[in-house]
Amino acid sequence: MSEVADQAAGPIDPAAATVAIVGRPNVGKSTLFNRLTGKKLALVDDMPGLTRDRREAEATLGGVSFRVIDTAGLEDVRDTSLEARMRRQTEQAVHASDVVLFVIDAREGVTPLDEMVARDLRRQKTPVILVANKAEGRAGIAGIGEAYALGFGDPVAISAEHGEGLSDLLDALRRFIGEPEPIEEEDEEDEGSSGRIHIAIVGRPNAGKSTLMNALLGEERVLTSPEPGTTRDSIAVDFAHAGRTLRLVDTAGLRRKARITERVEQMAVEDTLRAIRLAHVVVLVLDAEAVLDKQDLAIARWVIEEGRALVIAINKWDAAADRQASLRRLSDRLQTSLPQVVGIPTVTISALKRQRLDALLDAVLKIYEVWNRRAPTGQLNRWLEAMQSAHPPPLARGRVNRLRYMTQIKARPPTFALWCSQPAELAESYQRYLVNGLREPFDLEGVPIRLLLRGSKNPYVED
């Protein structure tokens, strides 16, 4: 059983519950505070140390209401200075709370100051939930893995700034502050206050991205032109499809870095890459006459590395000279150049003539569901045993490398932690065998899957 669960004596009345947010400076505590309260009550800036006093407010998450306290960043100072007084304020907030959210920066990983905060929190009796903030995209993967060493069980990966991972945080809080009102499946799925599915439309210049956005919206919302580079900044517009609210983001065309010379275009490309990192689903628009060339592949790889769900839209299909050749080329390039993600959905469209746009949106909604999917832990470990029986892992330094336990630690994208006796020696080929083996039985076709290796015993089995 995880250490977090062991700390709980029983659920607390939500109306009386108090939750303190603690951590070292500049990990996003105030951003999380604002997210939970639904208001910009705390100042947020890149400058560390902006928060000095405790700030309290009423918060609601998925039907659970509680009182939340924003605290100053904890530093290793115990004299009579201002920083030491700020530290004492934070310690008082911890003692007065029913639950502590210990926030770290997943992008920076675990620092010595995080370890100091962890030691202090382990000395007191208040239950602790470890929160790995800024976990959107690929840059937070290593930090999530390092967080296990702090000794608070599975970290809850979130992005407070963008509202990702809040359903996981809600699940963690439920163990301590009582059950919320029943949640509609759609609300739990749509992490974040808005409930929108964010869709970034990307591709090379002049592939028809802006035309596609206008076609989906049914109006000339963004400028289009035969001249490449018309779109420079990302344009976001909300609309509804099949009862869901979607936020479409049209982006600037991405070219090879060697061809980017103007400062304005460089800024546009940076904005596009940011839109990809913050999207839920990315629609990569291809020209039917030049399907998945080198630059398209580079964009697709970037999307997958960032952990976003990907849908390929082959545009200008009505004008394609040899449709079968285009489809064969796409299939061959996906198999040889993107083998790590099997089953990426592909839809042929004509944005100009508004053909098969509903099929494209249906594919987006379907892959979004897969991207959010979770695998039951018991079923996962029965599958793991069968995979080992069929093909045992290679010997590591002449010894058996035992795969002991697997659990899914987050979705968006599906991320799994695997405990084994010698994680550094588990061959990449065997890791690919496991990842690809997950797809069919757990219905994870077409989305990136992340596998984190841990080198300890099964954390859910007590001695």
Q: What is the pLDDT of residues 320-356, one digit of tens each?
A: 888 998 899 899 988 888 888 889 999 999 999 999 9
Q: Residue 422 and residue 413: Cα distance in Å, rounded?
A: 25
What DSSP element (H or E) covers 373? none
Residue pair 395/373 in contact by the 8 Å Cβ criterion: no
pLDDT for res 219: 78
Element spanning 450, H or E? strand 450-454
pLDDT of the residue at 48: 43
Residue 257 pLDDT: 54
Phi, psi angle pair for 219, to nearest 5°: -155, 165
**Confidence (pTM):** 0.72
Other Cβ atoms less than 10 A from the Cβ of 5: the count is 14
- Establish how many alpha carbons lie within 13 A of residue 168's alpha carbon, considering only the half-sphere containing its beta carbon: 27
Q: Which amino acid is at 98?
A: D
> What is the architecture, at CATH level 2, of domain 197-371?
3-Layer(aba) Sandwich (3.40)
In this structure, the chain runs to a length of 463
Residue 85: its pLDDT value, please?
61
Looking at the DSSP assignment, which residues form a beta bridge with residue 282?
Answer: 200, 310
Token pair 């944005």: residue: 351
- The rounded Cα 236 to chain-centroid distance in angstroms is 20
Contacting residues for 316 by C-beta, under 8 A, at least 6 apart: 208, 287, 288, 289, 350, 351, 352
Residue in 27, 228, 30, 26 with CA at minimum distance from that of residue 143: 27
Instruction: Give Dmax (Cα) for the chain.
Output: 77
Query: Is-contact 66 12, C-beta < 8 A?
Result: no
CA 450 – CA 138 distance, rounded (Å):
10
Nearest to 134 by CA among 155, 115, 172, 162: 162
pLDDT in tens, 180-237: 444 343 333 444 334 789 999 998 888 888 889 889 988 776 545 555 444 444 567 8
Q: Is 153 left (phi over 0), alpha (psi -120 to 50) or beta?
A: left
The alpha carbon of 332 is separated from its chain's Cα centroid by a whole number of angstroms, namely 29
Query: For residue 285, what is the enclosing H or E element?
Result: strand 281-287
Can you spell out the DSSP letters for 69-88?
EE-PPP-S--SSSHHHHHHH
Architecture of domain 3-188: 3-Layer(aba) Sandwich (3.40)
H or E element, residue 350: none
Inform me whether the pLDDT recorded for 399 exceeds 50. Answer: yes
Instruction: Pick the range with the lowest mean pLDDT from 65-74, 288-297, 453-462.
Output: 453-462
Where along the chain do its domains lie?
Answer: 3-188, 197-371, 377-454
Give the range among 7-21, 277-291, 391-405, 436-450 with minimum mean pLDDT: 7-21
* pLDDT value for 391: 96
How close are the terminal C-alpha atoms of the chain, in Å? 11
pLDDT at 43 exceeding the cut of 50: no
User: Given this chain, do its domains 3-188 and 197-371 carry the same CATH topology?
Assistant: yes
Which residues, in sequence order, are CB contacts of 38 under 8 Å at separation 6+? Answer: 59, 60, 193
CATH of the domain spanning 377-454, picked from 3.30.300.20, 3.30.1380.10, 3.90.76.10, 3.20.10.10: 3.30.300.20
pLDDT of residue 47: 44
